[in-house]
């Protein structure tokens, strides 16, 4: 018994592609003890057969994959076509092509003990969600082939439920910088902050934590790309928010949105002046201000080729948490480019405040879906943290 599947034109399946096109799919019967996968309509090389049929007929053809038929009593494994399309050998027999259905990728669950998350098959993972100890986070992939957003959450520090650190990281030019920051930035900051109590000392300690993380990443072998970062450290009843790039922190104060960070973009007068003073230039491309005509953010981890102008030094703001501070939103620019600070607070507040508190994760999803419905094609990550738990 054999099954032959022909795929037209493209070597990669897009979500809208059909497995069976131009009547090239057929189910064949043969005494052979193999299952064959034939790719047709591919341009032959000089050394390959001159026609698709010739390629299919040749046992040496690079376009013919042969799988040994499993022993009797064992179900054959599925043939995986592309990222999310699958066809099993057992489903071929006695079924028409229209009966074969596409399999949606499984939602990724994050282990409870993870400080950040790593997507092993990012191109197949469209969303990541987690309800943690006193926070929730939801991430949705945009139009890129891989999810480049990451997050971190360290709670119950030193056995104290009122001490924690959270972060959202938005990668660009690849995922490595965001992944590195998610795994290392919080630890470096906590190490520097240890023993510090004065506000200026804490701000300097956070700065050293960011700079240490940046230097460690740039000293590695693969330093491609960069990452914007926003972190929130809760310690001794104080909230310490720091950012480098355009990830943003917004707090609800009695229902009123207050931004605790300022986006680092070349369009900011002080950032543009800093860049030009150090020999760089800022111009616009399709209405977006960019450094050296390239990057649209002016601070972050990584970006080795622009390191002279894209610094990793964060801006830090510290406040004392009281009853008016209801919850904190940490999010990548995938949210903030389409949703205003006050809109975000208005949508999240019913889930965070009141006697009948609903799941925080649902609020995160509503914010992400709103941004996506308004045309955001970027990765979108939203983290919600109720603050009264830390008083």
Q: How far is CA 165 from the centre of its chain?
A: 19
pLDDT band, very low/low/confident/very high, at 287 (cuts 50, 70, 90)? confident
Task: Give the residue-averaged pLDDT of 3-19.
Answer: 41
Residue 138's pLDDT is 97
Indicate the class that CATH gives domain 108-262+313-390: alpha beta
Residue 84 in this model has a pLDDT that exceeds 50:
no
Q: What is the pTM of this model?
A: 0.70
* Range scoring the smallest mean pLDDT among 41-45, 135-139, 300-304, 360-364: 41-45
Average pLDDT, the chain: 78
Q: Give residue 355's pLDDT band: very low, low, confident or very high (50, 70, 90).
A: low
Q: b/e for 107-130, b at 16 or more Cβ within 10 A?
A: ebebeeeebbbebeebebbbebbb
Share of the chain above pLDDT 90, in %: 61
pLDDT digits (tens, 9 = 90+) for 248-268: 999 999 999 999 999 999 999
Tens digit of each residue's pLDDT (9 = 90 or more) over 117-173? 433 334 447 899 999 989 999 999 999 888 999 999 999 999 999 999 999 999 999
Q: Would you tell me the crossing angle of helices 360-373 and 341-352 to the nearest 10 degrees? A: 150
- pLDDT bracket for residue 41 (50, 70, 90): very low
Residues of the chain with CATH 3.60.40.10: 108-262+313-390
């Amino acid at each position: 018994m054999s099954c032959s599947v022909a795929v037209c034109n493209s070597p990669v399946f897009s979500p809208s592609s059909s497995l069976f096109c131009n009547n090239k799919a057929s189910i064949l019967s043969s005494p052979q003890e193999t299952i064959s996968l034939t790719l047709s309509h591919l341009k032959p090389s000089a050394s390959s057969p001159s026609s698709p049929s010739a390629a299919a007929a040749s046992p040496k053809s690079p376009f013919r994959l042969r799988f040994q038929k499993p022993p009797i009593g064992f179900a054959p494994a599925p043939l995986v076509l592309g990222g999310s399309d699958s066809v099993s050998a057992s489903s071929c027999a006695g079924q028409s092509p229209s009966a074969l259905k596409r399999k949606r990728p499984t939602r990724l669950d994050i282990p409870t003990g993870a400080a950040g998350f790593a997507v092993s098959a990012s191109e197949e993972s469209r969303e990541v969600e987690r309800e943690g100890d006193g926070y929730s986070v939801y991430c949705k992939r945009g139009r890129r082939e891989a999810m480049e957003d990451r997050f971190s959450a360290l709670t119950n520090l030193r056995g104290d439920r009122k001490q924690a650190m959270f972060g959202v990281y938005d990668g660009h030019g690849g995922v490595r910088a965001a992944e590195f920051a998610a795994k290392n930035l919080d630890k470096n900051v906590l190490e520097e902050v240890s023993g510090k109590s004065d506000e200026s000392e804490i701000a300097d300690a956070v700065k050293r934590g960011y700079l240490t993380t940046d230097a460690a990443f740039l000293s590695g072998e693969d330093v491609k790309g960069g990452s914007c970062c926003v972190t929130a450290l809760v310690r001794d009843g104080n909230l310490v928010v720091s950012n480098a790039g355009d990830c943003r922190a917004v707090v609800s104060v009695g229902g009123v949105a207050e931004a605790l960070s300022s986006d680092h973009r070349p369009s900011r007068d002080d950032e543009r002046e800093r860049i030009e003073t150090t020999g760089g230039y800022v111009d616009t491309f399709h209405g977006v201000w960019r450094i050296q005509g390239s990057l649209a953010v002016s601070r972050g981890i990584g970006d080795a080729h622009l390191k002279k102008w894209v610094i990793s030094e964060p801006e830090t703001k510290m406040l004392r948490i009281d009853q008016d501070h209801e919850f904190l939103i940490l999010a990548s620019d995938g949210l903030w480019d389409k949703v205003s600070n006050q809109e975000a607070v208005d949508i999240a507040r019913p889930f965070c405040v009141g006697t009948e508190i609903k799941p925080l994760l649902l609020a995160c999803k509503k914010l992400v879906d709103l941004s996506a419905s308004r045309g955001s094609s970027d990765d979108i990550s939203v983290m919600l943290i109720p603050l009264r738990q830390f008083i």
